[in-house]
Amino acid sequence: MSTITVYVPRDSAALAAGADRVAQRIAKEATARGIMLELVRNGSRGMFWLEPLVEVNTPTGRIAYGPVTPDDVAGLFDAGFLTGGKHPLALGPTEDIPYLKKQERLTFARMGVTDPVSLTDYQAYEGFAGLRRALALAPEEIVQQVLDSGLRGRGGAAFPAGIKWKTVLGTAAAQKYIVCNADEGDSGTYSDRMTMEGDPFMLIEGMTIAGLATGATQGFIYVRSEYPHAIATLNEAIRIAEAAGFLGDNILRSGKRFSLAVRKGAGSYVCGEETALLESLEGKRGIVRAKPPLPAIEGLFGQPTLINNVITLASVPLILARGAAFYRDYGVGRSRGTLPMQLAGNIKYGGLVEKAFGVTLRELLYDYGGGSASGRPIKAVQVGGPLGAYLPESQWDLPLDYEAYAAVGGTVGHGGIVVHDDTADLSKLARYAMEFCALESCGKCTPCRIGSTRGVEVIDKIRADQNRVQQVILLRDLCDTMVHGSLCAMGGMTPFPVLSALDHFPQDFGLVVPDRKAA
């Protein structure tokens, strides 16, 4: 007879819902009843309205119960949940929950299934298959796989990943670096956090492959200070991987070398911009650098540096394990593969939905999200973080694809989808976009540093109806200057939410006639 295994997630969002207390109660109750069970703290399946989601393994697969409070635990034992017994919180087999079943989980295939720091679990689900394949390939061949997969930067800029890899490989230097951008600052995004907390070996494997491909022997993961649990899990996973020979001076006895260290950010949004991040890693203020030189040629400490987002690097092990074609066959147009999208804000069923590119916002909002949490009509959806456009209902049927979004002045960004119901005031949200830019601007470019403060003032005047018509012209002019006169996306894209709010929701700015000419 096999031991009973009970799963209670350790993901921050599950902890925020009380998962630790539930786990403690389950352990206590089992002891009191003389039941032997193994309690595994898995990652989250990404269905946050069900957290804490408790699962039990049974001969017919894993059965889910949720959301479980500590007070439900005794009742679950009484109902025989350890053998999949009936209970009001029972959700049936986890894999059959439609929200999960309809997804195309490639990068998130292990998420919530495994113990995040168990090498046995990781390898039982294809873990390190990509690294083993990479060790048998020449660096050029690894890079070719990434190029052929069509993978683009998942942090937001969507630059073809393989091109960066190729540039670093082709630049000779005594020391090269791999830097993982884990400064996930966009509101409405948490896929990086889930990866680091729920499947850290996948990121470690992706970075190691990147090291083999480019000739870099040292990697840094720059994690924001708001993610203490992710930092702790990564450090634990790195120690385990080192001890087992997946990292260090002799990776799987290949004679190849790669080391990893975690660096903690300090609450600066602009450090998510790659050159500001490199400055921060060098111990300086996170001020954006002018490009060129490209980081791939002259990056960290002046050395060739491959800098990619968490999800970009985490997508690589599967591409190597199954081949570029497997990954490339998902998606539409020039947006290949899948994107872990994150439903957030005023949404009934908020959570992580990994789908191939091409899905529409309407499907995500209603087929997955179930509409707003408040039950009121959805008014505007901000896609792509604080620098992303507010999309009105007329744009919810666009295929989610980098080019299709760019064509309407939007951005897919890091895949964050923040929902606002009809009580939202878009002039207030536009003001917030400018306020956030003023708070977080690194100060290097005048249009961003000063323009954002002026933007707040101008929007205040529009809201207060002081020379409203002239102020709207001024706001558009200011946005134009910011777009064209800023080095990075902070100043260059803050106008996206502002102008989309103005264009699509003019009534919120007190404008009767839509004023679209200057958009």
Nearest to 160 by CA among 321, 312, 278, 333: 312
How many residues belong to the site for other proteins (CB under 8 A)?
Answer: 60
Binding segment for other proteins among 80-88, 343-351, 464-472, 503-511 (CB under 8 A)?
343-351
Binding status of residue 189 toward other proteins by CB under 8 A: yes
Contact 497, 386 (CB under 8 A): yes
Nearest to 500 by CA among 401, 390, 402, 408: 390
CA dihedral angle for residue 404, residue 405, residue 406, residue 411, rounded to 10 degrees: -150
Q: How far apart are CA 57 and CA 210, in angstroms?
A: 36
Which amino acid type is present at position 68? V
Site pattern 49..78 for other proteins (x: CB under 8 A): x-x---------------------------
Binding status of residue 281 toward other proteins by CB under 8 A: yes
DSSP three-state, residue 234:
helix
The smaller minimum CB distance to other proteins, of residues 13 and 499, is found at 13
Binding status of residue 184 toward other proteins by CB under 8 A: yes
Nearest to 297 by CA among 195, 435, 173: 173
The smaller minimum CB distance to other proteins, of residues 153 and 265, is found at 265
Q: Can you tell me which of 80, 92, 101, 225 binds other proteins, judged by CB under 8 A? A: 225
Q: How far apart are CA 364 and CA 343, in angstroms?
A: 8
Q: Can you tell me which of 115, 354, 421, 508 binds other proteins, judged by CB under 8 A? A: 421
Binding status of residue 187 toward other proteins by CB under 8 A: yes
Q: How far apart are CA 134 and CA 119, in angstroms?
A: 19
Binding segment for other proteins among 71-79, 119-127, 138-146, 220-228 (CB under 8 A)?
220-228
Nearest to 381 by CA among 405, 354, 355, 407: 405
Q: Can you tell me which of 99, 165, 227, 405 binds other proteins, judged by CB under 8 A? A: 227
Q: How far apart are CA 202 and CA 459, in angstroms?
A: 44
Residue with tokens 């005047």: 461
Tokens read off for 411? 């951005």
Q: Can you tell me which of 350, 384, 451, 506 binds other proteins, judged by CB under 8 A? A: 350
Q: How far apart are CA 363 and CA 381, in angstroms?
A: 13
CB of 313 vs other proteins, minimal distance in Å: 18
CB of 348 vs other proteins, minimal distance in Å: 10
Residue with tokens 């989601």: 53
The smaller minimum CB distance to other proteins, of residues 160 and 371, is found at 371
Binding status of residue 302 toward other proteins by CB under 8 A: no
Binding status of residue 186 toward other proteins by CB under 8 A: yes
Q: Can you tell me which of 6, 15, 53, 341 binds other proteins, judged by CB under 8 A? A: 15
End-to-end C-alpha distance for the chain, whole angstroms: 68
Q: How far apart are CA 133 and CA 128, in angstroms?
A: 9
Q: How far apart are CA 427 and CA 30, in angstroms?
A: 54
CB of 201 vs other proteins, minimal distance in Å: 20
Binding status of residue 343 toward other proteins by CB under 8 A: yes
326: CB partners within 8 A, 6+ apart: 318, 319
Binding status of residue 12 toward other proteins by CB under 8 A: yes
The smaller minimum CB distance to other proteins, of residues 149 and 427, is found at 427
Q: How far apart are CA 35 and CA 39, in angstroms?
A: 12
CB of 223 vs other proteins, minimal distance in Å: 11
Binding status of residue 283 toward other proteins by CB under 8 A: yes
CB of 275 vs other proteins, minimal distance in Å: 14
The smaller minimum CB distance to other proteins, of residues 52 and 317, is found at 52
By the criterion CB under 8 A, which residues form the site for other proteins?
12-13, 15-17, 48-49, 51, 184-190, 192-193, 225-229, 263-269, 280-286, 301, 342-347, 350-352, 373, 382, 386, 416, 418-421, 424, 429, 432, 436, 439-440
